[in-house]
Amino acid sequence: MLRSLSAAVLALPMVASANADLESKMANPKNWAAQAGDMFNQRYSKLNQINASNVGKLQVAWTFSTGVLRGHEGSPLVVDGMMYLHSPFPNKVFAINLDTQKIVWKHEPKQDPAVIPQMCCDTVNRGLAYAEGKIFLQQADSMLVAMDAKTGKVLWSTKNGDPKLGAVNSNAPHVFKDKVITGISGGEWGVRGYIAAYDINTGKQVWKGYSVGPDAEMLIDPNKTTTWIDGKVQPVGKDSSLKTWQGDQWKIGGGTTWGWYSYDKATNSVYYGTGNPSTWNPAQRPGDNKWSMSIWSRDVDTGKVNWVYQMTPFDEWDFDGINEMILADIDVKGKPTKALVHFDRNGFAYTLDRVTGALLVAEKYDPKVNWATHVDMKTGRPQVVSKYSTAQNGPDVNTKGICPAALGSKDQQPASFDPNTKLFYVPTNHVCMDYEPFKVEYVAGQPYVGATLSMFPAPGSHGGMGNYITWDAGKGKIVQSKPEKFSVWSGSLNTAGGISCYGTLEGFFKCVDAKDITKELYKFRTPSGIIGNVFTYEHKGKQYMGVFSGIGGWAGIGMAAGLEKDTDGLGAVGGYKELGQYTDLGGSLTVFALPN
């Protein structure tokens, strides 16, 4: 009996432990211990003191200025009565005692300002990570730094990329198990993308997996790594990336990884997306350019690729695939599913089986998307409309009226999932573009774009330049849509109080009813446009909600960097020229609470 029992125990699937300290901090809803609040990227809080019946009474509890006037993305962390804030370049870090609101320590790294022009779309930073008494900062100049959470003392730092070649950083680091995981920016400089894992105690690199190139460097096993082919999950086969590039173009092939990462300890997998291939002129890189524009599942301990799925083969529009992967257990077409849900820049929302990588749903989450008619569910490929194919029309031809624009139906601003309504709450853009590719030579450390873009509001849109929508990922359908004047460029938050909150580009912090998002329950004008992510915490029995304001990022790059030509900022300046009539630069945190 004993022998058979122990054999049965051994036969049980081993569930990997995430970082135990971080898990316990996340499990306490008083904290906001990670950028998404959890490892599934759900951006949901169990706090309910602020709820649909009283959120209209919110007041500003306190504010804090970072002293930096560029785009403020991400959010602070809150861990055991301390708040940790970050800023855009020069990437200041503040530790604030929530009892006294006193700055306990401040860290301002010394970085070469030469990194600023190497950052394509503003000097943003998407936030800090916490684990085991350490705060992790991914600097713009690619230095990954671990600091003592109590004192701010630097414990270790390691170089993640070469900023002189355009390999800079804007992503938040993420801690899964005993590793801190980070990516790289610089697709517009011909940087070859990768994701890397470092030991949280020593800073030593544990593994590094590239997005494109030879199997061994991507950590792909041709026989074990799978993808969606011919209506089923099958091995990718040998040289799955190399076969889709001409010559050595993959060496400067893009596929950067500056988004958000999620983790499922049941599969011990990290999930993330890769960005555009370099250059933006498709004529210079014929082929599918695998595995840029793809969703990845990797083993956290080894980096080995479980499965990969490419959303936009042979990208002709800069539809970066880096947006967050939200993990949720939902019904898909009536069947309980361990799902991964991804709202891609290309305007399609994808639902995949996160264990196998099987493609389950792929539908437009903006009706104005016109570059493709649909995704063929057998091949997994979008069916491109020839009129909007910048490759077919060729270099030096201006392809007009492509929807969405390069900044996508949604950019990096993360959506939220509400386990009560089983819906996804998605900040969206309604922007289209004209796109003219041209030949460009690669010069190390110089922009390698090869296209001129003009952007403009989507004509006849069901909103303004933005909408806040609810999405049923099991059916692939918009449930409700709330129009906004400008793109909604803020990460959303849902809570057990039955509310969903987000920020707008002109600077409003808003909360709506989670069951009916057309019901606006609260709004407040913050000092600057909001591209930060809403977060919440509890301190001394009181719930607070907060958000960064500070216009910038790609949508606000014209204001943040003082650009004026319509085609500047890769076309965003013209698209958002009205924005300057509604807000101005800033850099502050606004925290809200109910009156005593």
Task: Say what the pLDDT of residue 8 is.
Answer: 36
Residue 15 pLDDT class (50, 70, 90 cuts): low
pLDDT at 505: 96
Whether the predicted pLDDT of 211 surpasses 70: yes
- Per-residue confidence at 12, pLDDT binned at 50, 70, 90? very low
pLDDT at 5 over 90: no
How does strand 348-353 pair with strand 335-343? antiparallel
Residue 346 annotated as part of some ligand binding site: no
Q: Is 239 annotated as a binding residue?
A: no
The helix (run of H) or strand (run of E) holding residue 322 is: none
Calculate the dihedral angle through the C-alpha atoms of 119, 588, 529, 409, rounding to the nearest 10 degrees: 50
Task: For residues 364 and 471, give the distance between their C-alpha atoms in angstroms, rounded to a whole number.
Answer: 11
> Are 417 and 382 spatial neighbours (Cβ–Cβ below 8 Å)?
no
* Residue 464 pLDDT: 87
Q: Residues 138, 74: contact at Cβ < 8 Å? A: no
* Distance between CA atoms of residues 596 and 594, nearest Å: 6
Tell me the per-residue pLDDT of 385-416, one tens digit each, with 9 for 90 and over.
999 999 999 999 999 999 999 999 999 999 99
Q: Which residues pair with 375 in a beta bridge?
A: 382
Q: How confident is the model at residue 9 (pLDDT cuts 50, 70, 90)?
A: very low
Mean pLDDT of the chain: 95
Q: Is 329 a catalytic residue?
A: no
Question: Of 141, 264, 288, 318, which residue is the catalytic one?
Answer: 318
How far apart (Å, rounded) are the C-alpha atoms in residues 12 and 10?
A: 5
Which region among 267-276, 500-509, 567-576 has the lowest average model confidence (pLDDT)? 567-576
**What is the widest separation between alpha-carbon atoms in the chain?**
78
In this predicted structure, the answer to whether residue 470 has a pLDDT above a threshold of 80 is yes
For residue 291, cis peptide bond before it (omega within 30 degrees of 0)? yes
The confidence score (pLDDT) of residue 7 equals 39
Q: Is 171 annotated as a binding residue?
A: no
577: phi then psi, degrees, rounded to nearest 5: -65, -25
Q: Quick check: 272 and 307 in contact, CB under 8 A?
A: no
For residue 256, pLDDT beyond 60: yes
Residue 514 has pLDDT above 50, yes or no: yes
Q: Tell whether 126 is in a known binding site.
A: yes
Q: Is 393 annotated as a binding residue?
A: no
Smallest CA-to-CA distance from 456 within 441, 478, 471, 434 is with: 434
pTM for this entry: 0.96
Question: What whole-number percentage of the chain has pLDDT above 90?
Answer: 92
Spatial separation of the C-alpha atoms in residues 469 and 476, rounded to whole Å = 13
Tell me what pLDDT residue 463 has: 75
Nearest-angstrom CA–CA distance, 165 and 161: 9
For residue 18, the model assigns a pLDDT of 85
In this prediction, residue 475 carries a pLDDT of 97
3 state SS for 126-138: CCCEEECCEEEEE
Mean pLDDT to the nearest integer, 541-549 = 98
pLDDT of the residue at 519: 98
pLDDT at 252 over 80: yes
Q: Provide the pLDDT confidence category of residue 571 given band limits of 50, 70 and 90.
A: confident
How many CA atoms are closer than 13 Å to the CA of 373, on its beta-carbon side? 6
CB atoms within 10 A of CB 113: 11
Q: What is the CA radius of gyration of the chain?
A: 22
pLDDT on residue 575: 87
Indicate the DSSP class of residue 28: S
What is d(CA 186, CA 197) in angstroms, rounded to the nearest whole number?
19
- 23 token code pair: 């898990």
**pLDDT of amino acid 175:** 98
Residue 524 scores a pLDDT above 80: yes
Query: What number is the average pLDDT over the span 421-447?
Result: 97
The span from the CA of 169 to the CA of 130, in Å, is 18
- The answer to whether 188 is a known ligand-binding residue is yes
341: part of which helix (H) or strand (E)? Answer: strand 335-343
Integer Cα distance of 369 and 347 in angstroms: 6
pLDDT value of residue 569: 87
